[in-house]
Structure 1
Amino acid sequence: MDSKNYHEDLSHIRSMMERSSRFISLSGLSGVVAGVVALLGAGYAYLALESAKTEYIFRGRVSYTPALVQELVVTGLIVLVIAVLSGYVFTANKSKKKGLKIWDATTKRLLITFAIPLVTGGIFCIALIFHHLFVWIAPVTLIFYGLALVSAERYTLTDVKYLGYCEIALGLISSFILGWGLFFWAVGFGILHIVYGLIMHKKYK
């Protein structure tokens, strides 16, 4: 009897320690929504490239006019904003149901750790746009996003790092097949997010 209580106490203490040191309210459904939005954004970007009479899929021969670049950047920003907002809504609801705070010291550490490689990659992408190296944007966004996920794993669900590894791998492969950047971007930010989100929703619901 004492042994049973002892193990229950240890389990309770372990649970409390994990709650205090890790942000465990990430919602799998937010990943699904982010993936769907990314696929829609990629589809729109492809149509924009096609309407500009480019040969994006064939050897990456794209004539990036200022208007086309602006349209693609705006599309990417819209996808990012919708993904972030949906992530916040789903995560806030999950935190509320579990009786956990969505904003505490752990959340701050998580955001800082996640933001450093992400902001670095964002600034790097601005430099690529400035130098008209548009074909490198897809690989760079995948690689730095993956690095951000791996870094953030320390303060959230361990499974996040596996998504990060996949994003980094896709980015590295994409850097050798530059004409297919949009395809890799759709797989990394779209399909992988949907698969990851469904797995996490089933595992942690």
Structure 2
Amino acid sequence: MEENEVQDQLQSIRSMMERSSKFISLSGLSGVLAGVYALVGVALAYFILNYTARAELLGDFPNSPVPALLFIALAVLVLSLITGLILTLRKAKQKGQNPWGRSSRQLLYNLAVPLVTGGLLSLILISRGYFGIVAPATLIFYGLALVSASNVTYKDVQYLGIIEIALGLFAALLPGYGLVFWAIGFGVLHIVYGSIMYFKYDK
């Protein structure tokens, strides 16, 4: 009986240490919704690019699609962030975890450095006309951000990050298929990952 009590106490201490050192309030549902937003964004981008290509073939010279594509990407990012913030705050409240504690600040820092770097690099590439490298760059830097963030949250995030990096490297080999890789990386993988996280940790 005493041994069981000791094991229970050790388990409680281990759980408390994990709760204090790791941010465990990430919402799986927010990942699913982010994937849906990304697929809608890719569909809109595909339509715009096709329209531009058809117009050029007919001898028309429409405005550059780049501003519209950047707007779509920004809209998807903002919607994903807002959704993630709302659902994460709700989950943190349910778990009794401080949504702005040391672990959450460390998580944001680990995410922000690779993401901001990748975002700035992507803007530079776009301004220079290197559009074929943008998809690989965004996927790779996003994957690096996830691997970095996995140190202070669920380990599952690391696996998603590694897959995103591998996908980005494949995208670099096939620069003409950027939208396809974006749809897989930011759409399909997010839906699959978010579903796994939801049933594993949120239920």
Alpha-carbon deviation of 1:106? 1.0
Counterpart mapping for 1:52-71 below 5 A: 52-53=52-53, 67-71=64-68
What amino acid is the match of 1:189? F
Q: Give 1:113's aligned residue.
A: 110
Supply the RMSD in Å over aligned alpha carbons: 1.2
Counterpart mapping for 1:75-114 below 5 A: 75-114=72-111
Q: Deviation per CA, 1:53-106: give whole Å up to 9, x if none.
A: 26xxxxxxxxx9763100000100000000011001111111111111111111
Q: Deviation per CA, 1:3-47: give whole Å up to 9, x if none.
A: 011000000000000001000000100000000000000000000
Alpha-carbon deviation of 1:188? 0.2
Q: Give 1:138's aligned residue.
A: 135
Q: Give 2:57's aligned residue.
A: none
CA distance in 2 between counterparts of 1:83 and 1:191 reads 14
Alpha-carbon deviation of 1:175? 0.2
CA distance in 2 between counterparts of 1:53 and 1:71 reads 15
The 4+ residue runs of structure 1 with deviation greater than 2 A are 64-67
Q: Percent identity?
A: 51
CA distance in 1 between counterparts of 2:63 and 2:139 reads 23
CA distance in 2 between counterparts of 1:133 and 1:181 reads 12
Q: Give 1:36's aligned residue.
A: 36
Find the partner of 1:174 among 151, 171, 174.
171
Q: Secondary structure at the match of 1:52?
A: helix
Q: Give 1:183's aligned residue.
A: 180
Alpha-carbon deviation of 1:197? 0.4
TM-score normalised over the length of structure 1: 0.93
**Bigger share in helix:** 2
Q: Give 2:58's aligned residue.
A: none
Of residues 39-48 and 131-140 in structure 1, the stretch that sits farther from structure 2 once superposed is 131-140
- Size of the aligned set, in residue pairs, is 196
What amino acid is the match of 2:30? S
What amino acid is the match of 2:93? K
Find the partner of 1:129 among 107, 112, 126.
126
Q: Deviation per CA, 1:148-197: give whole Å up to 9, x if none.
A: 00001001111000000110011000000001010000100000000000
Q: Which runs of 5+ in 1 are unaligned?
A: 55-63
